Structure 1
Amino acid sequence: MADSNSSVPQDMSIDSSNPLYFHPSDHPGMILVSKFFDGTGFGAWKRAITIALSGKNKFGFINNTLTMLNNEQQLAVWQSCNDMAISWILNTLTRNISKSVLYAETTQIRWNELNSHYGQANDANFYQLEKNLCQITQGSSDIGIYFAKMKSNWDELNAINIIPSCTFRAAHSFAMRDEDKRLIQFLIVLILVMTQLKVAF
């Protein structure tokens, strides 16, 4: 697929705003995100690849809004785009994980399999993330770096701990409860550090 638009019929013009359009620089070997997924940190990887695919106008291939086309000419172009999106996702997976989803026919099926295996909230994920939060210390880092470390874990917890459908008032209450919990976690470590500094001096 050296020329990503080579499969487009001569009489079929595709506008650059169309999800089926390829930029001349697009190719299957592109690495869209710097974060490779190795089985950990699924939430961060998912967010990064989602942004990247959206930036390429190919997000519809994973969220089921750009389904397989019936027109024969358009189907060939759709398949080319689907294969390109698959390649971009595979390029960000480690070898073992890539093998586990290699034979899925569409980008959406592959995406769903990854979400099913790694994106579901479970006790092991919660345990590891909560453990990470307990082990984070400010040390010699400034407060901004310390906060960034904690926020990374909070964001991943949010990604796997999706609030079920409910009223806006209930959802807001859940969100405020989580914010209060995080503030307390953040302040506990800061207070501990300040106490240690006072004792040292």
Structure 2
Amino acid sequence: MAENLHTQATLPLNQNPASNYNIHPSDANFTQLVSFKFNGEGFTSWKRAMLLTLSAKNKAGFVNGTHCRPVDETSPEYLAWERCNDLVCSWILFNLDKSIAGSVIFLRSAREIWLDLKERYGFTSLAKIYSLEQRLADISQGNASVSEFFTSIKSIWDAIDEAHPLPYCTCNNCSCNLTKRIF
């Protein structure tokens, strides 16, 4: 057991399973991580699917800002960070439509790409909300099964919720003045 711990400590950061910088041999840079490439529509669904996959691969920190570029460019950690960042960048680029990927390909970090996409596509206009509410008002079961009909309704409800979510209490003792923010 002690021998195994010593072996893990001497492994390069990209090969150490306990490291945030671990790259598994199956982590190809041309991997389709989610079921659809982002083409400018459905950003919140694509973002959620990407975050789930990145989290499962222990790489969400490269887009959410918790795995920052190390300051010392000569350290082994810097090289490991750079390699992982490049891998996450390539995953994001491969899971984007060609035209969108082309607009972010020269950004230097996965975090920069993520923030650029979020700034451009992470908002919902009032026209989009109106369109979703109109679709909800116009929906009918027709020949669909109850399950298919409910799934259609639920997907619209979820899109509306994502478009303008209600704030929620994060302080556990209601000192955050949530009711003042709602009303």
Sort the TM-score into its range (normalised by shorter chain). Answer: 0.7 to 0.9
Q: Distance in 2 between matches of 1:154 and 1:35?
A: 21
Residue 83 of structure 1: aligned partner: 86
Q: Bigger CA drift: 90-99 or 53-62?
A: 90-99
Q: Distance in 2 between matches of 1:154 and 1:117?
A: 23
Identity over aligned pairs, percent = 34
CA, structure 1 residues 125+101, in 2 after alignment: closer, same or farther (shift >3 Å)? farther
Residue 150 of structure 2: aligned partner: 147
CA, structure 1 residues 20+115, in 2 after alignment: closer, same or farther (shift >3 Å)? same
Residue 37 of structure 2: aligned partner: 36
CA contact (8 A) 1:61 1:107 kept: yes
The one-character-per-residue Cα deviations of 1:129-157 (angstroms, maximum 9, x if unpaired) are 22332343211111121111122222223
Amino acid at match of 1:77: A
Amino acid at match of 2:96: L
Residue 66 of structure 1: aligned partner: 67
Residue 122 of structure 1: aligned partner: 125
CA contact (8 A) 1:119 1:160 kept: no
CA, structure 1 residues 141+135, in 2 after alignment: closer, same or farther (shift >3 Å)? same
Residue 12 of structure 1: aligned partner: 12
Q: What displacement does 1:169 show? A: 8.4
The answer to whether 1:106 aligns with 2:105 is no
**With CA pairs under 8 Å and 6+ residues apart, which has the higher RCO, 1 or 2?**
1
Q: Distance in 2 between matches of 1:143 and 1:76?
A: 54
Amino acid at match of 1:61: F
| TM-score of the two chains, using structure 2 as the length reference | 0.78
**What secondary structure, in the 3-state scheme, does the structure 2 residue paired with 1:78 have?**
helix
The one-character-per-residue Cα deviations of 1:89-117 (angstroms, maximum 9, x if unpaired) are 11111111111211111111111111111
- Give unmatched runs, 5+ long, in structure 1: 1-9, 175-201
CA, structure 1 residues 136+102, in 2 after alignment: closer, same or farther (shift >3 Å)? farther
